[in-house]
Structures are given as C-alpha cells and as structure tokens.
Structure 1
C-alpha cells in the first residue's frame, strides 16, 4: 500500500505563483517591496502608483503625507535602490490623492 503524503500549506504555493505571474517592471517591484521599505504607517497612507524614467510617483492620502514623504525622499530612494538595484529609482514624486466625492 502506498503511503499517503500529508497536505501542504497552500500559502507558500500561492506566494510562489504570485511571484512568477507578477510583472517584471520597476513599478511592480516597488509596489511589492513598499510595505517593507516604508513601514506599516507609511504603507497604510501612501503607495507607489506609477514610474517613468526612474521617477516613482507615490500617491498619498493627504497633502500632509505627501509633504512628509517629500522630506523622507532621500532615505526612501536609498532603501528602494538597496532592494531593487542601484540606480533604478532616481526621484520620488509625492502627490496627494484627490478626495472622493
């Protein structure tokens, strides 16, 4: 009689599949790494939304958060480049999201 294998956790399989299917763009990589780079408070209030020519746009919940990220830009750029590869991000553009009506 063949031995029965124990079930595997689906979480690790889904994580591996997600990594395989995710686009290989600078924006997608920045979005995946943002929570680790920015920390929980920033990640909750701001997210990378576009990238062009090394300039990463971060959309923030308010103008206060946009200003805070502007002040932190050199540090965040350094962390992003440590994670994504040197020189991939050259500037941050922080914008406040328009209020929903």
Structure 2
C-alpha cells in the first residue's frame, strides 16, 4: 500500500524542527519544562538561557534586533548589513556637524568614498578619518571599513556657452 503523505503544514513543522536541532536548539515539551522549572525553583536557581529577573524559558519571544542579527549572521549577510549601516547611520556615526558637510558617495571593498562640500571640510575629514575608523570598528565590527577616501567639492566648469578654446585655462582670473 501507499504510505499516507503528510499535509504541508506538518511537513513544514518537521523541517523547522530539524533546522532547530541543527542549530543546537533543543525541543522541550510542556511536562518536561514544568519539571525543570520546579527543580530550578527548589534550588533557587535560574533556567538556562533565561532572563535574570524571570524564570522564563528559552522559548520566550526575542527582540526583533536579536532575531535579525542572528539571521544575517547565519546567511552571511554581515558585510552587506554593515554597508547599509554605514550609509544609513552616517550622521549618527560621524556626528551631525560633519554629516552636514561630508556625505558618503559609495562603499566598496571596505573603502568608503566621502564627498565634502568645501576643501576645508575635506581637510578636516582627512584629519578626523583615523578617529572615525576607530568608531566604525567599535560600532560595526573590525575590518568592515578600513579606508576613508575623501574627495573635495566638484570643481566649477569654466566653459560658458557652446564655443570655447581647449587648453587655454582660466588665465589670470584671480588677480
């Protein structure tokens, strides 16, 4: 005879249980959990993996940040998340004053390219880059950003109109 096939919900539940076992999470039924809690209360101790203020088991809901960080680690997305974090939290990481004048343009291979709105801010950013790299290491993890390449403002175009002579430059414009 043919074996009776599992319904899709049961098959999904079995797959999730198998994945949890592979991650090292053990399944505990309600009766066993009650016995463990009773023993822990008698000893005055805590359950493994529980909060210090409560006797909550490890199966309690977790904060969304913890779940997302665990997911990104298991999928190997840490670097991509860090890239998005550098670009998204730029003002928080470097400070609002610096962020007003220096904007990140790109982030590739641990190099952040920053465009500043004046040459004085570009110089200031170059001087601050060592401290900012230390802060990136502390906030995002070591090795995520290793170089900050600072660019000054875009130079103005001296070409006005449809016709211009190539190679003559602005001449004695500044006196």
- TM-score, L = length of structure 2: 0.41
Q: Which moved more, 1:28-37 or 1:86-95?
A: 28-37
Distance 2:112 2:124 in 1: 16
**Paired position in structure 1 for 2:124:** 68
State the 1:99 CA deviation: 5.2
In the alignment, is the contact (CA less than 8 A) between 1:27 and 1:50 conserved in 2? no
**Paired position in structure 1 for 2:101:** 45
Closer/same/farther in 2, CA of residues 63 and 26 from structure 1, 3 Å limit: farther
Distance 1:43 1:100 in 2: 23
Query: Could you say which structure has the larger radius of gyration?
Result: 2
State the 1:89 CA deviation: 0.5
The Cα offsets for residues 19-66 of structure 1, whole Å up to 9 and x where unpaired, read as: xxxxx4544221112111111110100111111211111111011111
Closer/same/farther in 2, CA of residues 27 and 66 from structure 1, 3 Å limit: farther
| CA RMSD, 1 decimal | 1.8
- TM-score, L = length of structure 1: 0.67
Higher relative contact order (CA 8 A, sep 6+): 1
In the alignment, is the contact (CA less than 8 A) between 1:46 and 1:58 conserved in 2? yes
Extract structure 1 runs of 4+ deviating beyond 4 A: none
**Paired position in structure 2 for 1:77:** 133
Listed as ranges, the gaps of 5+ residues in structure 1 are 1-23
